[in-house]
Chains A and B, each alone.
Chain A
């Protein structure tokens, strides 16, 4: 990172040109003066953390607390809003402003806050049940509107706080307390869902890969618009080992597909590398590096306005976790809902010559058709 966060940059080639400058995600949010710097400790609240021992949420919390000082923001201008579920306790442990709201509604509440307060950095913390089941509607609408906020979706593929029912991301056939004969639900792929919902920034990371997660958080914070970050998170009590296949060091390299913008999509170690190619039927398949011709090789383009290939990449993942893409799937610029809403108001106020006072209000309520009684 050569440039400090908080400066306006346009690094993404091929972005949509809408004829207006797209500001940085943190533009308009007050920054610390001069050399002032905060530390992880400044972002740690006095509340005792109450997740189960070994919960993936601990690592994510640590990563976020360590990452936030990097933004250089005044911490009173940061707000974390959450819904209900284990992950939604997150705001209590950060010494910022925070709201632990109700099940599924955090994106709606954050929309009201972020739209009316451009000086705040707004973060939503949610889980697979909170965001994709009870709050599915709010999630997709936040994404299509492109409100300037970052949504961290902790996906542990299980309901933890209610003690172990299957979730909308649980694999088919999952045996849980509420599905003793196996789940018959088809799960959501959160990345595919977000891409289908017109999201402008979609990424995936892993709870225990602090460097990768920090990298994604950095890009998400810099993105102006709704950034959805899916974080695979282990629940040691009700779904332990759900992501072992991609966390196991021996298998990791063969399974994790690290997406890099502008680069061919590959998987595997140097001597067993496979490259993603497009077949004659248009399908994406991995073939040994030697068999991949340049014209068939799939080059990742996160800033392509057309999400088709990004969506196709999200579909190479399946329940077997043979190949799991990680990183930024999509990162495009589009005017944000909140900027446009405020822009209409600002324009109307400016055109009218400034904020309305008593006289203007009196004119408003009088309307155009009055009469006087002497």
Chain B
């Protein structure tokens, strides 16, 4: 865009929310705006929010889909509490999002869509763009649809409907102008997507330009804005979602372990993107099997693990419930296995597209019998990569199923990721058993499948095809060392304790406490995806003069060895969680401390403001 005129106002941070009908392409618009923002060097965080229905009836509240992006010239910890700018493509999008838009914020609405019919669909008796009800906001009614159609007059082969479909690009062009975003990436993207359809490509590009030009020429927008790049560590970056990072982490971890990834999975929201991503990685040797059900998914993974592969199954909470028996079998067989749970609102089908952290106790205890399973929970979209590598380390070192607890917010949220060096990832090479490991009573060499490594308590991984190590394993209690069926009472107790001791003995790093003033008497303890909101809230609270310490758990089983001491160092402990208080219950039970729970289950991440309030109230 040459020859841009007008003033540019510098800003340090902005939150924009694109909202429209499920069919309006808001996720794509948000994705493209995010990519432009990343390319500019701003730090950012995103929050897609969409209904479970693929296309709810057009123009209705249940059909509203939105995408929020928070970007700044400094490090960004959350997708932002409330938008500074709401782009509303129809009355439903305005009505659904207005309660979260603070007074004084900017609203850009497609006035063409505010017809009597569309207004009545969502219960507006009068047009809010005209009736004065929005006078506390900066409202820009823009004829997005009709200007898009006019801009595409040169495309007679396209129907009016097809032309209207490009209005999301008009909106993107306008917002790109407003926030001085480069559109080269979007042009290249459209080229790749519609290259084979010249008319559609041309129309989208024309709509993008028309939106930009409209911003530049209209007098409706006094100024455009610029947000300087954020200072970031030197390196190469990309923007990445949690599900993509997690998939790559599994592949990288397996690569460092010298193992082939074998994924058995059944599609489920919000985990399906892991199945999609891994299915596209055949060139990297990744094997994916879309199973007939959740149980078969984990069965396939466990069968592959018996064969010496990195068995993985990916699912969400309802799928974990179905897989529970097989996880128990894996505990008994003591084979490496990774169970990815991208948590969503529950119980039952619950809120398939919304986030929650309510599977912690299911991961911890949701099996019959004493069946301990290690749990790793990533704290941000990019941390999904490292947490997956860590899950591979624990599974292969200790020969155990591992629960990797992501959630809907991490899965679909995106942030800049400083790319790691593959060769600098941990060395995870595994040793398969290759020969006898014991002697029988007569001194002849024998293989004992349950003879443990004294350091890790892991049993040998003896894969079929290895001569001389033929053995049988199963879900019936096994005799210590030999692995033969045993109903002996003392043996069962010994094996139960051994399985627990193996998990308890997993080495995990100490939890780090952040307390800049050194004077905090309140500790905020979090886990998983609440890291961003807690860190942002603590930062704000400290700026307000409240002394507060934070600690964030990535390992939930076993807990870091120093956790008990850390908790006892503080007078008060606050545990914010997107559940009814599950971690709070675990730490209260284990460490006998009076942890206070701050528990919400609204299907959306915590806002910084509500946590600042909770922290300030308890610290007071």
Contact = CB atoms under 8 A, between A and B. Distances in A.
Contact of B311 (A112, A342, A349): A112
A366 interface: yes
B41 interface: yes
B264 interface: yes
A76 B465 contact: yes
A116 B287 contact: yes
Interface in A96-136: 96-102, 105, 108-117, 119-120
Contact of A102 (B39, B248, B262, B475): B475
B251 A364 contact: yes
28 contacts: A47-B485, A78-B464, A81-B303, A84-B475, A92-B472, A97-B464, A98-B474, A99-B474, A101-B475, A102-B325, A108-B296, A109-B299, A111-B296, A111-B303, A112-B302, A112-B307, A112-B311, A114-B303, A116-B309, A141-B296, A345-B282, A364-B251, A367-B238, A367-B240, A369-B39, A370-B236, A370-B237, A370-B419
B162 interface: no
Contacts of B264: 108, 112
Contacts of B38: 369, 371
Interface string B226-265: 0000001111111110000000100110010000101010
Interface stretch (A208-216, A241-249, A315-323, A353-361): A353-361
B466 interface: yes
Contacts of B385: 365
- Among A91, A352, A356, the most chain B Cβ lie within 10 Å of the Cβ of A356
Given A95-B470, A361-B422, A105 B236 contact: no
Contacts of B6: none
Interface string B274-288: 000000011111110
A234 to B, nearest CB: 24
Interface in A218-247: none
Contacts of A81: 303
Contacts of B468: 76
Contacts, number: 207
Q: DSSP majority for the B interface?
A: mixed
B300 A361 contact: no
Given A99-B473, A112-B262, A371 B236 contact: yes
A108 B470 contact: no
Contact of A113 (B41, B306, B326): B306
Given A361-B252, A364-B284, A373 B41 contact: yes
A10 to B, nearest CB: 28
Given A108-B291, A356-B255, 10 more contacts: A81-B303, A100-B473, A110-B303, A111-B296, A113-B303, A356-B285, A365-B252, A365-B385, A369-B39, A373-B234
Contacts of B326: 102, 105
B41 A341 contact: no
A348 B35 CA distance: 29
Contacts of A94: 472
B325 to A, nearest CB: 5
B284 A373 contact: no
A5 interface: no
B333 A76 contact: no
B476 interface: yes
A372 interface: yes
Contacts of B333: 99
Contacts of B471: 97-98
Contacts of B239: 369
A74 interface: yes
Interface string B411-436: 00000000111110000000000000
Interface in B28-81: 35, 38-39, 41
Interface residues of B, number: 71
B593 interface: no
B480 interface: no
B90 to A, nearest CB: 30
A341 B309 CA distance: 15
A362 interface: yes
Closest 7 CB pairs of A and B: A100-B474, A112-B303, A108-B299, A112-B300, A113-B303, A108-B296, A348-B282
B293 interface: yes
Contacts of B252: 361, 365
A45 interface: yes
B234 A374 contact: yes
Contact of A361 (B255, B464, B467, B469): B255
A77 interface: yes
Nearest to A97: B464
Nearest to B329: A102
B299 A91 contact: no
A137 B292 contact: yes
A77 B464 contact: yes
